[in-house]
Amino acid sequence: MSGIEDQLVAAFKAGLAASSSLQSDGVMTKAEANYGPCQDGSNCCGDCSCYSPGNGGTGSCSIVSGKISENMTCDQFSPKSDTGAKVDTSKTSEPTASSG
């Protein structure tokens, strides 16, 4: 190989190593995370512990790269611990008081 070809091969290998290190740092592409619309308003990025809000309904994510919409979701969704979510008590089978 010529000197230029050796330099190109070395640069290519360095680029591959850099992209591998990004993935090992936990940052993934939207495609890798299966980023898309959240269904029925549940598990949306805006309610995820990895989401940091920005301006106009977009922000950033500690796991997925790029601009992230609060109205989208991905396979990495992790609910915030302090969302104040309401518990659905309509499906519990609590005994009712009888008038007896």
CATH class of 21-80: few secondary structures
Residue 62 DSSP one-character state: S
Whole-prediction pTM: 0.56
- Structure tokens, 46: 């805006």
**What's the CA gap between 7 and 14, in Å, rounded?**
10
Quick one: CA dihedral 23, 26, 32, 36, positive or negative? negative
In order along its 100 residues, the chain shows pLDDT tens digits of 577 777 766 766 666 554 444 444 568 999 999 999 998 888 999 999 999 999 888 999 999 999 999 999 999 999 998 645 444 444 444 455 555 5
| Chain mean position to CA 26 | 11
